[in-house]
Copies of this chain bind each other. A is one copy, B any other.
Amino acid sequence: MKSSQNKVTTLAAAITSLIKDNCHLSIGGFTINRNPMAAVYEIIRQRKRGLHLYAHSNGQGVDELVGAGCVRRLEIAYAGSGRFAPTCVRFRKAVERGELTVEDYSNYQMTLRFMAGAMGLPFLPTRSGLGTDIIKHWGFSKELRNSDETLPKQKLVTIDNPFGNWCESPKLVLVPAINPDVTIIHVQQADRRGNARIKGLTFADVEQAKAARHLIITCEELVEEDFLKRDPDHNQIPFIHVDAVVPIPWGAYPTACYRHYDYDPRYLNNYRQAAEDDKSYQTYLAEKILKPADHQEFLALSDKKHLKSLVADPETGYAVGLERS
């Protein structure tokens, strides 16, 4: 698939063919920005179960997958959506109820884990974690790790610096690589072969993309190949990593997509309120996510004028003066 010349497909087809129950998945974005929400909702609609999910701080996407019951295990640094949810609500409830096994890392550790996967390495070192319970407490038990070959045998390993005190670093924490079965990211522009351009901060999307066995790219705009190749300094992902390209405008909504649209404060506030109560959350799921057949129908639930108020200002890349309280 990766060498094919045309990888453009529908979201439903990409999710059906690449996301299997119990597979290891990572999603791009950060808290309330550029989460691949259209793909998240399609996974929920297809009622995928038992996912092993990797994220760093991908707030909204993680919480919706957890809330919909798709996730069995979660490796994460941070489950929050900024001011809209200092701790993601469905995540918090699932953990407190013992419905979700979580393995905690820091943001840099998760970034390095994806980076190691992208670099083809089993681990990378850092000084972050020394002396903390992130090292001491394992969310995945030794037994689980020993019985599941898709997991590294250790959560983290501390070693003495083999170069003595070189760089004033007597000890290092080694973080194990992640190679997800599938990564899904949402970008501003891609071509039909899968070359992709992210505008604004890339978060850890590039590392997550290159670490994966399979990569699904959803994009705001499908552009001609030479459009991206004419300015290759601004592209981050070459087609050789990509399996599927899905053009899907507003594909990160209700999170933001820099230079296209802002996050939707109203949606995110309503989401948090719905999430606080099981019954209202089931209603949210049924009405907002499962009832629409696809992302277009989902978007059609919001009035057009409201969506228009989120459109990014061309100068700043966000919706200047947006009502956000």
Contacts and interface: CB of A to CB of B under 8 A. Distances in A.
Interface stretch (A135-143, A154-162, A217-225, A266-274): A154-162
B233 A200 contact: yes
A224 B181 CA distance: 45
A111 to B, nearest CB: 11
Interface residues of A, number: 31
Contacts of A162: 123, 154, 157, 159, 174
Interface in A167-187: 167, 169, 172, 174, 176-177, 179
A199 B153 CA distance: 43
A166 to B, nearest CB: 4
Contacts of A166: 122-123, 152-153, 176-177
How many copies of the chain does the oligomer comprise? 2
Contacts of A98: none
Interface string A233-270: 11000000000000000000000000000000000000
A152 B161 CA distance: 11
Contacts of A161: 122-123
Nearest to A230: B315
Given A153-B164, A162-B174, A124 B122 contact: no
Interface in A3-17: none
A176 B174 CA distance: 16
A82 interface: no
Interface string A41-80: 0000000000000000000000000000000000000000
A320 interface: no
Contact of A233 (B117, B120, B179, B199): B199
A121 B174 CA distance: 12
A116 B153 CA distance: 26
Interface in A111-157: 116-117, 120-127, 152-154, 157
In order of increasing CB-CB distance, the 10 nearest A-B pairs are A122-B167, A122-B166, A157-B162, A122-B169, A152-B166, A152-B163, A163-B176, A122-B161, A122-B163, A167-B177
Given A116-B167, A121-B172, A122-B172, 19 more contacts: A120-B127, A120-B167, A121-B127, A121-B169, A122-B125, A122-B167, A122-B169, A123-B166, A124-B125, A153-B163, A153-B166, A154-B162, A159-B162, A163-B176, A166-B176, A167-B177, A199-B233, A200-B233, A234-B234
21 contacts: A120-B127, A120-B167, A121-B125, A121-B127, A121-B169, A122-B125, A122-B161, A122-B166, A122-B167, A122-B169, A122-B172, A123-B161, A125-B125, A152-B164, A153-B163, A153-B164, A154-B162, A154-B163, A162-B174, A167-B177, A199-B233
